[in-house]
Amino acid sequence: MAAVLRVDLPENAYDIAIAPGSLPEIGTALTPLGLGKKILLVSNRIVNKYYGDTVRESLTAAGFEVVTHLIPVGERYKTLNSIQKIYDSALEHRFERNSTFLALGGGVIGDMTGFAAATWLRGVKFVQVPTTLLAMVDASVGGKTGVNHPRGKNLIGAFYQPKLVYIDPDVLETLPPREFRAGMAEVIKYGVIWDANLFAQLEAAAHLDTVQTIDPALLETILVRSCQAKADVVRQDEREGGLRAILNYGHTLGHAVESLTGYKVINHGEGVAIGMVAAGQLGVKLDLWDTAAAQRQDALIAKTGLPTTIPDFLAIADLVNILQNDKKVQDGNVRFILPTAIGAVTITDQVPAATLKTVIKACQSAMP
């Protein structure tokens, strides 16, 4: 299996290269991109332990000079303080305008490395080497970069496209199963918002919860179709003037749950799973789609081993309050992406507060 997809943007087009076993060839893959000699490899201790040497050896063999900067593990380090430390490394090692920042890791590393690349010397080149399923199918593609503010997720950032997204699915072998499932939440998202055929293939699968049990052909389909869906949406609306907002399906409430649990209890993908269940229920309450469709979605989420309920200890008032601070608020109204069918969604800020509270309450107990 090897595939190259194009994110066909008018000014910032780039490839997504997907090939198992390709990590040791990364140096050769970067050579035609016309990058400068110096690469700042940004990763964390875990990913660096597994894959840092392979990437460094390949880059060095291809003639690049590599400096490694490690960020502590975890979403709670997705902060401006961590960005400052990347700048410190770049300054110390004299990273000039023609140098490149390379993200080796999950979405946390990718988002931060991209933001540092967007802002260091007003912009240096940037390469994404995603190592989680979530980063492969979503975070590494599309150019959203940034960090969290103590009061809200991803509130600080920039649109900044990479020069290449380089995916070796073999690295998923070491990914903890919980993180694999988190990535599957974004895959299910593409099925619900864009690709009914992908959704049906996921429904038909015997296993979706671990990389070891999933059919390798299905994993290929998942990577290619998810990246294609994201590339299609981003090509039509790079800076989220309209359509791109659909990629936030499940994220509105998901971010609130993730943030209120301190990014420790619920990870990003789990938050999205819970958010999709809630959005599905809002869709039913507002007559946008029917209970049967919502049940198909929720069954797929449950089959993947993802959570489907909001933790009981979270107060409804706190959740509603944090929704008001979300980036997706427009003119004071919370904007929701709600499903109209498997494969289609609509964007609305017309969700009555009472309906929202009822659905949150229902999602805290067993789902219907």
In the complex, the residues that contact ligand GLY under the rule CB under 6 A are 138, 142, 144, 244, 247-248
Look up 96 and say whether it is catalytic. Answer: no
Look up 244 and say whether it is catalytic. Answer: yes
Of ligand NAD, ligand GLY, none, which one sits near residue 73, judging by CB under 5 to 8 A according to partner kind?
ligand NAD
Residues 29-58 that bind ligand NAD (CB under 6 A): 44, 46-47, 50
Nearest partner of 108 among 48, 148, 149, judged by Cα: 148
Contact pick of 135, 246, 266, 276 for ligand NAD (by CB under 6 A): 135
Please compute, for residue 177, the number of CA atoms within 13 A of its CA located in the half-sphere on the CB side.
10
- Asked if 9 contacts 235 with a C-beta cutoff of 8 angstroms, the reply is yes
Quote the CA–CA distance of 224 and 297 in Å, as a whole number: 21
Selecting among 144, 153, 163, 328, the annotated active-site residue is 144
- 78 is a contact residue toward ligand NAD (CB under 6 A): yes
- Asked if 163 contacts 127 with a C-beta cutoff of 8 angstroms, the reply is yes
- Asked if 69 contacts 40 with a C-beta cutoff of 8 angstroms, the reply is yes
Contact pick of 56, 268, 296, 328 for ligand NAD (by CB under 6 A): 268
Three-state secondary-structure class, residue 345: strand
Q: Return contacts of 356-359, CB within 8 angstroms, 24+ apart.
A: 356/282, 356/320, 356/323, 357/316, 357/320, 358/285, 359/278, 359/281, 359/282, 359/285
Q: Number of helices (H) and strands (E) in the chain: give both, helices first.
A: 14, 13
The residue nearest ligand GLY at its CB is 247
- 269 is a contact residue toward ligand NAD (CB under 6 A): yes
When the beta carbons of 113 and 248 are compared against ligand GLY, the nearer one is 248
SS3 string of 53-110?
HHHHHHHHHCCCEEEEEEECCCHHHCCHHHHHHHHHHHHHCCCCCCCEEEEEECHHHH
Residues 169-228 that bind ligand NAD (CB under 6 A): 171, 174-175, 179, 182
Contact pick of 139, 219, 293, 363 for ligand NAD (by CB under 6 A): 139
Look up 255 and say whether it is catalytic. Answer: yes
Look up 69 and say whether it is catalytic. Answer: no
When the beta carbons of 52 and 142 are compared against ligand GLY, the nearer one is 142
The minimum distance between CB 361 and ligand NAD, in angstroms, equals 26
Of ligand GLY, ligand NAD, none, which one sits near residue 159, judging by CB under 5 to 8 A according to partner kind?
none
- Asked if 104 contacts 130 with a C-beta cutoff of 8 angstroms, the reply is no
Applying CB under 6 A, the residues found at the interface with ligand NAD are 44, 46-47, 50, 73, 75, 78, 105-109, 111, 131-132, 134-135, 138-139, 142, 144, 154, 171, 174-175, 179, 182, 268-269
What is the set of active-site residues?
122, 144, 186, 230, 240, 244, 248, 251, 255, 268
